[in-house]
Amino acid sequence: MNILLLGANGRTGRELLARALSAGHTVTGLVRAEDRLADVSHRRLHVRVGSPCDPSVLVPLLPGQDVVVSLLGPRLPSKMASAIYPESAAAMVDALQASGVERLLVTSSALLFPPDKLSARVLRRLVPHIVDGARRMEERIRRSSLDWTIARTGFLNNDRATSHRLGVGTLPEGAGSVSRAAVSSFLLQAAEQGSHSQQIVGLCG
């Protein structure tokens, strides 16, 4: 496949990038600065520089792509940082619909599932901007005609295991943190198989 990867320089992005290249796919990684992936070199990796929130940046990258995978998310729980969710969603939807590319996979926050524990309710109150930003992102994507998959995850860890539990429309009971390796493995498999079309899934350890 030809994959356009947004958030390629993040820890989960690098994990997915390595897996995709190892599987024989061609990846175009969009980064904000030229030095962000300077340490990665591969004949099937094409690094492009620009903002993922700008449709005029995305549109020229889309011809020939089979799927767009977005691992974008805020580094801080502030309102400004969390705006990456809805702003990137608007740009992606507009660009994909204009280009004719239909497949879109994104990561989102498990905090959007109804909280079943006090700790979850407290956390939602502590990071309201992340919750609101992720909600707005998902609403924009779900209103589109795209072939989307939204993977909601909780806390991420650096474990190398790819084992995980998955719930369609829900977070499995007793959810714990999930590895970046597991999230990237799930997304790549969903892209390859075309599975979980127009579904929200919860991933946990």
Nearest of 24, 22, 147, 111 to residue 14 by alpha carbon: 22
For each successive 10 residues of the chain (205 residues), what is the average pLDDT?
Answer: 97 97 98 92 97 97 98 95 98 97 97 83 90 98 98 95 95 92 98 98 95
Q: Which pLDDT score is estimated for 118?
A: 72
Q: Which pLDDT score is estimated for 7?
A: 96
Q: Which pLDDT score is estimated for 164?
A: 94
Q: Which pLDDT score is estimated for 143?
A: 97
pTM above 0.85, yes or no: yes
State the total domains in the chain. Answer: 1
For the record, the structure tokens of 139 come out as: 């609403």
Q: Which pLDDT score is estimated for 27?
A: 98
Question: Do residues 129 and 111 make contact, with C-beta atoms less than 8 angstroms apart?
Answer: no
For the record, the structure tokens of 62 come out as: 């889309």
What domain range includes position 41? 2-204
Question: Do residues 177 and 156 make contact, with C-beta atoms less than 8 angstroms apart?
Answer: yes
For the record, the structure tokens of 93 come out as: 């939807």
CATH number at residue 97: 3.40.50.720
Q: Crossing angle of helices 84-99/128-142, nearest 10°?
A: 10
